[in-house]
Structure 1
Amino acid sequence: MVSQWAGRFGGRDFVRLWAATTASSFGTTLTTVALPLVALVTLHASTFAVGLISAAELLSWLVLGLSAGVWVDRLARRPLMVACDLLRAVALVSVPVAVATGMVSVPQLVLVALVLGVASVFFDIAGQTYLPLVVEADGLLAGNSRLQAGQSAAQTGGPAVGGALAQLIGAPLTLLVDVASYLFSALFLSTLRTREEPSEVTDRARMLPQIREGLRHVLADPVIRPLMLVAAGLNMVGTAYETLLVPFLLRTVEVRPALIGVLLAVGGVGGVLGGVLGPRVAARLGGARTMVLTACVCPLISMLAPLSTAGAGLVLLGAGLVGREVCITVFSLLARSYRQATVSRVLLARVTASIRFISWGVLPIGALLGGSLGELAGNRAALWAVCGLLLLTPLPLLFSDLRGRRDLPEAPVRESQPA
């Protein structure tokens, strides 16, 4: 299997990249369960505090998203990704240490989340722009599909393991598994041998013109622009949705932490299915048609979550999470592959950063929105309100030229000189 992948997707470097991102994703999704439980169980924090912690991790995209793309253009990507993994490992170690010494607090969890967010910004942009160096252009969709399937598989196991470990050994010690995953990822990334061409963007180039060039490309592109707006809507409102899930299950439905992890893991199955089936569905229905379909179905199937109750009623939650993840995964991998295939490598990091600045910069707003609605209206009513907002997210795509198309346009790679 490894030799088959190596031959098809650019050598063993693709396998190493896949192993690193999969391991990192496993630990990260484990932390999405464990870190809120540290706040809720160890510190007896409020739903708003959980939203604040989530917002802190996501705030980095809003603050650093644009400038990070310029820095990634100037730096070697592989060493940068290794450094980000090590920084995240150090930040997470501090939590169980603080718990053991009786010094843990919500402000510390917010600070740890902030460090994780900063490192993740640089890691994500570097990773997305490193893949085209490992995989040929005609293999990007398949390569992205396999990376997504691996990450989704890890995300399926991560919450289940996180919930079980949190119940057995406590949420603080569970974070050490994420530390190990980052160290594993750093080890595999350090063995990559794909040669990076010297950057065409020098340190002397002014940052603001480079940032404007990336933003101008995103806002002027008739395909990338609506895809980015839909992603921003799904991300912002989806973060509010996800912020409410753990408090909703723990305090409203009264589900035990171990079962919470299992339920979140069930949702990860949808990510695996989306990663595997995405290219096949796009080949049959067409890329544009598939993206419109997934963007419209996602809000509808998300409504199963607030309908769920204890016992057999949790089946509704599981079905909603699976369907939601299928839609988001297929939409994301098609958008990402289109961008990687059509944007010049000189601009790719800045275009990626510009998109993430907008589409991920709204994530802390969503986290605070979810936490605030949960405090004001209760967790179930807040979930219904969030589902109502999700219905608005496909509108940019429905009013774009993509609505009547079967396939995404085969735009040539845009060659642009650095600012």
Structure 2
Amino acid sequence: MTSAPAERPTASEAEDPVSPGTEKVRGGLWRNRDFLKLWSGETVAALGAQVTQLALPMLLLSTLGASSAEVGLVAGMQYLPALCVTPFAGLVIDMFDRRLVLLVANLARAVALAVVPVLYLTDTLTVPTLCLIAFVVGAGTSVFDVAYLAYLPALVPQRDLVDANSKLQGSYSVAQIGGSSVGGLLIRALGAWLAILANVVAYLAAFVTMLLIRHREPPRERSSTGRPRAADLLTGVKLLWRDRTLRVLSMRAGWFNLCEQAILTLFLVYAVKELGMDAGGVGFVLAFGSIASLAGAFVARRAGNRFGFPGILILASSASSLAPLLLLPTGPGSGWNFTLATLTFAVYGFGLTIYNVHVVAFRQSVIPTEVLGRATAAYRMLTYGTLPIGAFLGGLLGGRLGLWNSILAFALASVVGWLLFIAACRRLPAPEREGVPAQ
């Protein structure tokens, strides 16, 4: 990318004017059959993934008698591809047809998980094999998540990008709400290995829906100067760094994710050990946060139209960054613990979803499509790569400073990052600050 976002039309600037005697077509994305297929496939895949998030550790504990360290190891293998696979995913996505990449990623995840019931029934299931399966599934997810974001602008006009991203964010929130509940029911009724088999079916269903997408991208430039190469792995990182707006968004997301993961890791222990919550109580708190996220997806467009860009980013980041402070009045024996914890995750989820909807739409609008895969992969590597760091630091400080003190430290760190983000937003050039109004 050689210029600032101002030189390319944003989602708001691309809005079709209503010419005299012409009515604007209503229905928008609801009449875009290819988008509906992508949306439904992503939703089904996300629901299945939430089932596995619960079923996999339950299988380890109930069948293999695994220790907490082994459960953590398998879970960590699912996130490892964010660092070592995502950069190559961006390169592949920019070299090949993105619909084909989505199909292969879904099929790979389905095949990898299908091995679990086979190993279980043949009594050959082990922790190392589950680590390998978790890594393959995580790699498929890393590729899929980058590919569908890069593929979306090919299916959706720029004026509808915020609306499309809002729907995708909303379906993800629904998956978080319903996936764990459905997974718990399946595990109780059928067993963890059969619940994982349900995720296999979900990935295959997503494969079929995306196979039915009729749109085909135009052939990409295959000349030696235009074709992505191994040397281009850093192209996305360089693009993000050169553009001031994208650089600010990347740095903010990386710092926020580090603090967020640390606080979440600490809260799960703090809620059980010091606040006296059981697993059902913690699950309700997190589920209510997902419901608030869904509400955020519904209001994102209207809020963006009201406050503009980056005004909506400042307001949304205020909610997500300041929400952890609501945990500070909690403590053993307090009657407000459950209420404050629920409110914390509701405010956090609401603000974060609105923020994400607009940031994703903005990136899709200003980054040239020929490098969108690499840029999206670089963004996710830089921002998701801080998640394991945050979890490690949260656990380390929790054992040394105490759980409440550690939550306080990371909550204040989140506030510091928020203040720096606001200052950076106010120094952006005026054209770059116009951005994308929400849905």
TM-score bin, normalised by smaller chain:
0.7 to 0.9
What SS does the aligned partner of 1:235 have?
A: helix
1:252, 1:161 → 2: CA distance? 29
1:409 maps to amino acid? R
Alignment root-mean-square deviation, CA: 3.3
2:66, 2:416 → 1: CA distance? 32
Corresponding residue for residue 424 of structure 2:
400
1:57, 1:255 → 2: CA distance? 27
Q: 1:318 aligns with which of 333, 337, 342?
A: 342
1:390 maps to amino acid? S
Written as runs of structure 1 = structure 2, the 5 A alignment for 1:4-403 is: 7-8=28-29, 11-39=32-60, 43=64, 45=66, 47-201=68-222, 205=227, 207-244=229-266, 246=268, 257=279, 260-304=282-326, 307=330, 313-373=337-397, 383-402=407-426
Contact 1:148 1:275 in 2 (8 A): yes
1:254, 1:50 → 2: CA distance? 23
2:298, 2:188 → 1: CA distance? 32
Residues 338 and 117 of structure 1, relative CA distance in 2, 3 Å threshold: same
1:348, 1:143 → 2: CA distance? 17
2:302, 2:209 → 1: CA distance? 30
1:134 maps to amino acid? L
- How far residue 361 of structure 1 moved from its aligned partner, in angstroms, is 2.1
1:121, 1:270 → 2: CA distance? 25
CA offset digits 1:146-172 (Å, max 9, x no partner) = 121122122211122223444444444
Aligned-pair identity (%): 30
- How far residue 405 of structure 1 moved from its aligned partner, in angstroms, is 8.7
Residues 133 and 404 of structure 1, relative CA distance in 2, 3 Å threshold: closer
1:172, 1:282 → 2: CA distance? 44
2:83, 2:49 → 1: CA distance? 20
- How far residue 140 of structure 1 moved from its aligned partner, in angstroms, is 0.6
1:124 maps to amino acid? D
The 10-residue stretch of structure 1 (130-139 or 229-238) with the greater mean CA deviation from structure 2: 229-238
Residues 323 and 349 of structure 1, relative CA distance in 2, 3 Å threshold: same
Contact 1:34 1:174 in 2 (8 A): yes
Contact 2:317 2:418 in 1 (8 A): yes
What SS does the aligned partner of 2:416 have?
A: coil
Return 5+ residue gaps in structure 2 as ranges.
1-24
Residues 359 and 25 of structure 1, relative CA distance in 2, 3 Å threshold: same
Contact 1:160 1:265 in 2 (8 A): no
Q: Tell me the TM-score normalised to structure 2 length.
A: 0.81
The 10-residue stretch of structure 1 (287-296 or 253-262) with the greater mean CA deviation from structure 2: 253-262
Residues 374 and 163 of structure 1, relative CA distance in 2, 3 Å threshold: farther
Residues 83 and 203 of structure 1, relative CA distance in 2, 3 Å threshold: farther
1:319, 1:248 → 2: CA distance? 16
1:231, 1:396 → 2: CA distance? 12
CA offset digits 1:356-401 (Å, max 9, x no partner) = 1211122232333345455666766654554344333324422314
Contact 1:163 1:262 in 2 (8 A): no
1:405, 1:183 → 2: CA distance? 46
Contact 2:244 2:428 in 1 (8 A): no
CA offset digits 1:283-329 (Å, max 9, x no partner) = 11222122122223313213445737799733332222221111111
1:381, 1:99 → 2: CA distance? 43
1:214 maps to amino acid? G
1:38, 1:387 → 2: CA distance? 34
Contact 1:84 1:122 in 2 (8 A): yes
CA offset digits 1:47-84 (Å, max 9, x no partner) = 55444333322221211222221111111111211211
Residues 403 and 269 of structure 1, relative CA distance in 2, 3 Å threshold: farther
What SS does the aligned partner of 1:392 have?
A: helix
What SS does the aligned partner of 1:409 have?
A: helix
Residues 206 and 136 of structure 1, relative CA distance in 2, 3 Å threshold: closer
The 10-residue stretch of structure 1 (118-127 or 47-56) with the greater mean CA deviation from structure 2: 47-56
1:11, 1:5 → 2: CA distance? 11
Residues 88 and 239 of structure 1, relative CA distance in 2, 3 Å threshold: farther
What SS does the aligned partner of 2:73 have?
A: helix
Residues 373 and 158 of structure 1, relative CA distance in 2, 3 Å threshold: farther
Residues 318 and 233 of structure 1, relative CA distance in 2, 3 Å threshold: same
Contact 1:252 1:380 in 2 (8 A): no
Contact 1:163 1:258 in 2 (8 A): no
Residues 52 and 392 of structure 1, relative CA distance in 2, 3 Å threshold: farther
Bigger Cα Rg:
2
1:398, 1:24 → 2: CA distance? 35
What SS does the aligned partner of 1:357 have?
A: helix
